[in-house]
Structure 1
Amino acid sequence: MKIALDAMGGDHAPREIVRGAWEACRENGLEVVLVGDRDTLVKEIDELAEPCSALEIVHATEVIAMDEAPAVAVRRKKNASVVVAAELVRSGHVKAMVSAGSTGATMAAALLNWGRIPGIARPAIASVLPTVRGVTILLDVGANVDCKPKHLLQFAVMGSLYAQKILGIDSPRVGLVNVGEESSKGNELTQQTYPLLQEAPVNFYGNIEGRDIFQGTVDVAVCDGFVGNVVLKTGEGLADALMKMIKREMQQSSLAKIGATLTLPAMRNLKKRLDYSEYGGAPLLGVNGVAIVCHGTSRALAIKNALFRARESVEAGLIGAIGASLHDPVREVGYVDGM
């Protein structure tokens, strides 16, 4: 299986991107197509510890910057690395794409080249969050800051299918992120979405509050992209702050340092669980192809794991499963576009 990788996207491109691809090829036999400036990528490959025949280069002369308007840049820069990567998927040369570049540009390139899965109104970015009980999928985390009830309904179905196909959860519990557990709570959006989810083909748990997300109360947490992005960034910031505060407290006295030595293995395991790199990237659900969006600060480990997530999504038939879920019975609850 070949996967296209936007080698020029991200804060640490192209070095960390290339290294992540190299590690993925060595560990799991993936074939990765690096998309970007050929001369630059050849130099990076030459500096690797050993050659890898599973790395291919497709030349792209342009890069879309983080501060560019995504839709405009994708149409104007036809030879941008993320655009070329999306075109490789459309042509059938590769099965999926991964990018740590501009999220908006990645989504725009995917939509322009692949379109949406028939019946899906808007794509959503689904992030996997570590919880007390394991992990929870949160969506949307930034693709759509303004949503209608039908969008949250579709997010719930797509998130539930991702939990089944990729995480192996038989009947994922789906919760609607709200300011209270009662069905009457919330704004107009959540109040109108609640009855739709009750009738949807998902295991609807009900409303959940922000604190429930990291407790692992549900397997899939649904919200609009504004709320989801705030939750995601708050969680990342809190995890980082907690680790720093714990480290500081452990250095306050000799006794604390002794205790820190004894708990070091446990702390390392905790740090690993909280590290977004371990989860790779977030799938862009709803587009008619497999796209994994990585954090802009991703290094080799995150890129490697994102490539693995892309392969798993293809092998699990995720896109086909989402499309097959759009059958006539769910049209009555406004599942398909046009509600």
Structure 2
Amino acid sequence: MKILIDTFGADAGYKITIDGAIKALEKRKFTPVFVGNEENIKEYINSRISDYEIIHTDNFISNNEDPVRAIRGKKDASIVLAYNKLKEEGYDGLISAGSTGGLLAGGLFIGGRIKGIKRACLAVSLPSLTDEITLLMDSGANMDCKAEMLYEFALMGKVFLENVMNVDNPKISLLNVGLEEHKGNKLTKETYGLLKESDLNFIGNIESRDLFTSKSNIILADGFDGNIALKTAEGVLKLFGKELKNILYKSSKNKIAGALIKNDLKKLTEKFSADEVGGAPLLGVKSYVYKAHGNANETAFANGILGLMDYIDKDVISKIEGELND
């Protein structure tokens, strides 16, 4: 299996993507295809691995650029080169920590949409108090949506969870300002009606305070609301972690107490760590694509690569196409 790795976009630079690939190779065999500056990549690999390829470019799409214009105008940008390479035989998937808009635009205009799908979306796996899996769809790819799009997100999420995560008949909910059916704006009310009349396992509205409570396997939202909810939750978790650390180091007595619950704290931290997931699939395009976190470290990036390969193995795109044609 050949996995295209965009070496641009990570906050910590290209070295994280290379270290992540090498770390992933410790768990599974594949051929990394690095897209970026050839000299820097070769120098940093430094013979640590031998089976790899490089597609050279110094160009990339930044978060400040208009993604559609950049995809069409920057033919040698890393994401553009990677998407075009995916069209060739033998190249299986793409992972990038770069521009979300660029990744989405490339999927739509180069990779192409799955027939019957209006928009692609990012399905981010949320941390949970239990072992239940929860996806937030969309988490930032589409700022403006129609009810039909959210319905499609639900359908794609169902297929992904059933085939990749082994979740039977996943519970689907709609992110809203209240639990009652009449609550919300025009989009949520119209979406509620579509989901209520569908054959999907729709359990109604859910409020953002229940993002991590495992009440639902799929939480639907447009990219604007979903991204705000996600980043608010991330900020609160980081703040809580920082304050907890300050308390534990405040006195000798607290340090002793911290030492006694060290293992439990470590398990709690791991449960709510983005590193364990590493990224999110871009569902709705005809290419296997994973979006890694911009602030990913090597562990998170490695887990993103492993998640992408599992996504490919389960032939999810064909199964989504089959679901739409039933």
* TM-score, normalised via structure 1 length: 0.93
Partner residue, 1:24: 24
After superposing on structure 2, the runs of 4+ consecutive aligned residues of structure 1 that deviate more than 3 Å are: none
Q: Trace 1:146-161 onto structure 2 (pairs within 5 A).
A: 146-161=144-159
Partner residue, 1:62: 59
Secondary structure, counterpart of 1:205 in structure 2: strand
Secondary structure, counterpart of 1:3 in structure 2: strand
Q: Trace 1:248-287 onto structure 2 (pairs within 5 A).
A: 248-287=246-285
Partner residue, 2:125: 128
Once the two structures are superposed, residues 185-207 of structure 1 have per-residue CA deviations (whole angstroms, 9 ceiling, x without a partner) of 11111111112112323211111
Q: Distance in 2 between matches of 1:241 and 1:319?
A: 38
**Cα distance, 1:210 vs structure 2:** 1.1
**Cα distance, 1:251 vs structure 2:** 1.9
**Cα distance, 1:245 vs structure 2:** 1.0
Paired residue type of 2:129: V
Once the two structures are superposed, residues 92-133 of structure 1 have per-residue CA deviations (whole angstroms, 9 ceiling, x without a partner) of 331110000111111112222111000000111110011112
Q: Trace 1:290-301 onto structure 2 (pairs within 5 A).
A: 290-301=288-299
Partner residue, 1:43: 43
**Cα distance, 1:181 vs structure 2:** 1.3
Matched, 1:78 2:61: no
Secondary structure, counterpart of 2:123 in structure 1: strand
Paired residue type of 2:86: V
Q: Distance in 2 between matches of 1:308 and 1:200?
A: 33
Q: Distance in 2 between matches of 1:101 and 1:189?
A: 29
Once the two structures are superposed, residues 153-204 of structure 1 have per-residue CA deviations (whole angstroms, 9 ceiling, x without a partner) of 0111111112112221111100111111111111111111112112323211
CA contact 1:26–1:52 (8 Å) conserved in 2: no
> Which of 65, 78, 103 is matched with 1:106 structurally?
103
Q: Distance in 2 between matches of 1:321 and 1:212?
A: 30
Partner residue, 1:337: none
Secondary structure, counterpart of 2:259 in structure 1: helix
Partner residue, 1:240: 238
Secondary structure, counterpart of 1:86 in structure 2: helix
CA contact 1:3–1:97 (8 Å) conserved in 2: yes
Partner residue, 2:33: 33
Partner residue, 2:313: 315
Once the two structures are superposed, residues 20-57 of structure 1 have per-residue CA deviations (whole angstroms, 9 ceiling, x without a partner) of 111112321122111111111111111xxx62123221
CA contact 1:136–1:219 (8 Å) conserved in 2: yes
Paired residue type of 2:28: N
Q: Distance in 2 between matches of 1:195 and 1:54?
A: 52
Q: Distance in 1 between matches of 2:314 and 2:98?
A: 25
**Cα distance, 1:232 vs structure 2:** 0.8
Paired residue type of 2:169: S
CA contact 1:14–1:44 (8 Å) conserved in 2: no
Could you tell me the percent identity over the aligned residues?
A: 37
**Cα distance, 1:252 vs structure 2:** 2.4
**Cα distance, 1:268 vs structure 2:** 1.3
- Consecutive unaligned residues in structure 1, runs of 5 or more: 329-339
Taking a change above 3 Å as real, the CA distance of residues 61 and 255 of structure 1, as seen in their structure-2 partners, is closer
Taking a change above 3 Å as real, the CA distance of residues 12 and 92 of structure 1, as seen in their structure-2 partners, is farther
Paired residue type of 1:91: E
Secondary structure, counterpart of 2:105 in structure 1: helix
Partner residue, 1:5: 5
Partner residue, 1:332: none
**Cα distance, 1:291 vs structure 2:** 0.7
**Cα distance, 1:146 vs structure 2:** 1.1
Matched, 1:289 2:287: yes
CA contact 1:25–1:52 (8 Å) conserved in 2: no
Once the two structures are superposed, residues 39-92 of structure 1 have per-residue CA deviations (whole angstroms, 9 ceiling, x without a partner) of 11111111xxx6212322122231222211111111111111111111111123
Once the two structures are superposed, residues 232-277 of structure 1 have per-residue CA deviations (whole angstroms, 9 ceiling, x without a partner) of 1011111111111111111223221111001111111111122212
Equivalenced residue count is: 325
RMSD: 1.3
Q: Distance in 2 between matches of 1:53 and 1:270?
A: 38
Q: Trace 1:133-282 onto structure 2 (pairs within 5 A).
A: 133-134=130-131, 135-282=133-280
Q: Distance in 2 between matches of 1:233 and 1:270?
A: 19
CA contact 1:136–1:221 (8 Å) conserved in 2: yes
Q: Distance in 2 between matches of 1:159 and 1:200?
A: 15
Partner residue, 1:333: none
- Consecutive unaligned residues in structure 2, runs of 5 or more: none
